[in-house]
């Protein structure tokens, strides 16, 4: 297959690209700076998001587009200008993908659009599935709702559209390494009251679900990209400590995290129990349905 990826040089994108080329597919990475990269066997860098680039003229007929690009949520306090940047990076990137599809003489079969479980809002008591059709009422929920509404325009162009709502992605980069750092310094512990749910997923299952959603003709609409066994923060931290053979004992109180992180503290102090009902019904088999083996796999690669 021939597959275009936005955000192809990021954490998730590099894993997806590596997997796809290992299966013999050709990958076209859409980037603002194609001159920074050298084409390799089965990997071609194509310019986009600048007027001088005409990706629709450089790309072959595609089987799929995987849209992963977007501003990192964790790279600074959520000031009003930062929140606007987070929103606009998602809307403008997705609008650019829709515009690209519109200009293509031969449309791709499917658009896989990254989304987020932030759609559901937060709760310590509810379980959310794709049957939950009312979004939450906080910043991230509003961002995701607008983001998904933009991506859904691809359906009107005759393109099957799957909205993969990512949970907390565990891998050798990203959120897990920040969570593990205090444990490596013997200072790990519960965040806030510890009751907040963490709906997590191993990076290999993110890649697996993207590949599955490309190939599965019934994969469309919202799909929760989370493992089927979320954990509360306290148990999550205890398992990190156990796998790393470090104590779980120094709590980080709510007020301190709110003071340090501001509104961004909602990422660690609040959560949601999100169940991947659609993925399981469609027949996807998780490589890491349980947290402990997922952590062991990742930390064994990092050397503990």
- pLDDT, residue 256, reads 87
- Residue 183, token pair as written in the block: 């444990």
- pLDDT, residue 302, reads 61
Cα separation, 266 vs 291, whole angstroms: 22
- pLDDT, residue 134, reads 92
Q: Is-contact 256 149, C-beta < 8 A?
A: no
Q: How confident is the model at residue 303 (pLDDT cuts 50, 70, 90)?
A: low
Cα separation, 8 vs 28, whole angstroms: 9
Kindly report the average pLDDT of the chain as a whole number: 95
pLDDT beyond 70 at 79: yes
- pLDDT, residue 47, reads 97
What's the rounded mean pLDDT across residues 109-114? Answer: 98
Q: Is-contact 296 288, C-beta < 8 A?
A: no
- pLDDT, residue 18, reads 98
pLDDT digit string (tens) for 201-252?
999 999 999 999 999 999 999 999 999 999 999 999 999 999 999 999 999 9
Q: How confident is the model at residue 301 (pLDDT cuts 50, 70, 90)?
A: confident
pLDDT beyond 70 at 28: yes
| Residue of 174 and 205 predicted with greater confidence | 205
pLDDT beyond 70 at 304: no
Q: What is the set of domains in the chain, with CATH numbers? A: 2-171+199-228+273-288 (3.40.50.720)
Cα separation, 254 vs 224, whole angstroms: 28
């Amino acid at each position: 297959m021939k597959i275009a990826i936005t955000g192809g040089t990021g954490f998730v994108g590099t894993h997806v690209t590596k997997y796809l080329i290992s299966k013999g597919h050709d990958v076209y990475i859409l980037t603002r700076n194609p001159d920074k990269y050298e084409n390799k066997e089965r990997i071609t860098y194509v310019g986009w998001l600048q007027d001088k680039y005409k990706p629709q003229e450089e790309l072959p007929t595609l089987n799929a587009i995987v849209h992963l690009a977007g501003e990192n949520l964790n790279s600074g306090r959520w000031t009003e200008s930062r929140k606007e940047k987070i929103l606009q990076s998602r809307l403008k990137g997705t609008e650019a993908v829709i515009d690209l599809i519109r200009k293509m003489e031969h449309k791709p079969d499917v658009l896989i659009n990254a989304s987020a479980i932030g759609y559901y809002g937060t709760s310590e008591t509810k379980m959310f599935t794709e049957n939950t059709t009312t979004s939450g009422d906080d910043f991230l929920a509003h961002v995701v709702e607008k983001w998904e509404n933009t991506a859904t325009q691809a359906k009107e162009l005759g393109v099957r559209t799957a909205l993969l709502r990512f949970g907390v992605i565990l891998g050798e980069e990203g959120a897990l390494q920040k969570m593990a750092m205090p444990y490596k310094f013997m200072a790990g512990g519960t965040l806030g009251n510890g009751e907040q749910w963490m709906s997590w997923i191993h990076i290999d299952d993110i890649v697996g679900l993207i590949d599955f959603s490309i190939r599965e003709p019934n994969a469309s609409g919202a799909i929760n990209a989370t493992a089927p066994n979320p954990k509360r923060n306290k148990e999550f931290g205890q398992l990190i400590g156990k796998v790393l053979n470090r104590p779980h004992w120094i709590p980080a109180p709510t007020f301190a995290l709110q003071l340090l992180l501001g509104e961004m503290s909602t990422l660690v102090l609040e959560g949601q129990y999100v169940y991947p009902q659609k993925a399981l019904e469609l027949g996807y088999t998780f490589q890491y349905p349980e947290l402990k083996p997922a952590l062991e796999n990742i930390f064994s690669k990092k050397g503990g």
